[in-house]
Amino acid sequence: MKLNKIATVVGCSLGMVAGSVSAHFQMIIPSDDMVAQSESRNVDLDLLFWHPMEGIGMSMDKPARFGVLASGNDQDLLSSLKAYQKKDLQGAEFAAYSASYTLKRPGDHIFYVEPKPYWEPAEEAFIVHYTKVIVNAFGLEEGWDEEVGLKTEIVPLTRPYGLWSNNVFQGVVKVNGQPVPYSEVEVEFYNDKGDVKLPADAFITQVIKADANGVFTYAMPREGWWGFAALNEDDKKMSHEGKDYPVEIGAVLWVRTHDMK
Ligand SMILES: [Cu+2]
């Protein structure tokens, strides 16, 4: 536990050297984003707290909530989580979680996680990233635009699977169910193989803003997993060692693009 905490601080100071202290992303990466009738019904989910483009790991605690919304049913999956150690691109190990889920019915499955508040010493703030990913089961394209009802949430306006590289993706940023005008959205590619060359630090995290209706737009330039993190400050503060600090609430959504071959 203590070692993990030290490793976390080291991980984030590395991020600071690279100039991207804020680019933490909660992640839920499924083994498949579209499961056909002919495929295995099993989906493996990887839960990480990471700097996805730089491949810098951080350790995460067991989440406060983890579940799936499908066909109008909200199912608690917290007890299915298994802790494991995930190696980052530098070869350091960090606490992560995985889960396995068997798809039973056709339709869209919205997997979501609410992590425990993470104290970030470098920012003197708590971070809570409410994170979603959508898996389509057996071709029935229904449910991807449902709201889970998280404190903050990106609701997709573009169907979040079956996306080509270079497609434009749009979503609306909500806090307490209401769109947030001009909300800041950070975008990162999950550079899991470490093969993306970064000409300057500004390429690590793309920064965009939602419009007056809370709608953001981004075109994803290559195949793989892309994370969108809409960041806002909670109206409540949290206490750390007797002092109150701000809480960054992030609405994170992961989508996968595929190259046209
Ligand atoms: Cu970090």
How far, in Å, from the CA of 190 to the mean position of ligand 1?
Answer: 15
What pLDDT does 68 receive? Answer: 98
Q: How far is CA 247 from CA 104, 120, 124, 127, 238, in A?
A: 37, 10, 9, 6, 7
- pLDDT at residue 58, rounded to an integer: 95
List CB-based neighbours of ion ligand 1 within 5 Å. Answer: 12, 15, 24, 58
pLDDT at 7 over 50: no
Q: 184 is written with which tokens?
A: 């800041």
Gap from CA of 128 to ligand 1 centroid (Å): 12
Asked if residue 72 lies in contact with residue 46, where contact means CB atoms within 8 angstroms, the answer is no
Can you list the domains of the chain with their CATH numbers?
2-258 (2.60.40.10)
Tell how far the Cα of 15 is from the centroid of ligand 1, in angstroms.
6
pLDDT band at 23 (very low <50, low <70, confident <90, very high): confident
Distance from the alpha carbon of residue 229 to the mean position of ligand 1, in angstroms:
14
Q: Can you tell me the mean pLDDT for 130-135?
A: 98
pTM tops 0.85: yes
Whole-number Å distance, alpha carbon 235 to ligand 1 midpoint, is 23
How high is the pLDDT of residue 10? Answer: 43
The CA 22 to ligand 1 mean position distance, Å, reads 7
Dist. CA 39 → ligand 1 center (Å):
36
Identify which of 209, 137, 208, 185 has the alpha carbon closest to the alpha carbon of residue 25: 185
CA of 142 to the centre of ligand 1 (A): 35
pLDDT for 86 equals 97
193-207: per-residue pLDDT in tens? 999 999 999 999 999
The percent of residues above 70 in pLDDT, for the chain, comes to: 92
Q: Could you tell me the distance, in angstroms and rounded to a whole number, from the CA of residue 104 to the centre of ligand 1?
A: 36
Q: What's the 129 CA to ligand 1 centre distance in angstroms?
A: 12
Ligand 1 centroid–CA 12 distance in Å is: 4
Ligand 1 centroid from CA 243, angstroms = 22
| Cα 13 to middle of ligand 1, angstroms | 8
Select from 128, 92, 103, 101 the least CA-distant residue to 113.
Answer: 128
- pLDDT tens digits, residue range 95-111? 999 999 999 999 999 99
Residue 203: the pLDDT is 96
DSSP string, 28-95: EEES-SEE-TTS-SEEEEEEEEEETTTTEEE--PPPSEEEEEETTEEEE-GGG-EEEEEE-TTS-EEE
Three-class secondary structure of residue 13 per DSSP: helix
Distance between Cα 72 and ligand 1 center (Å): 34
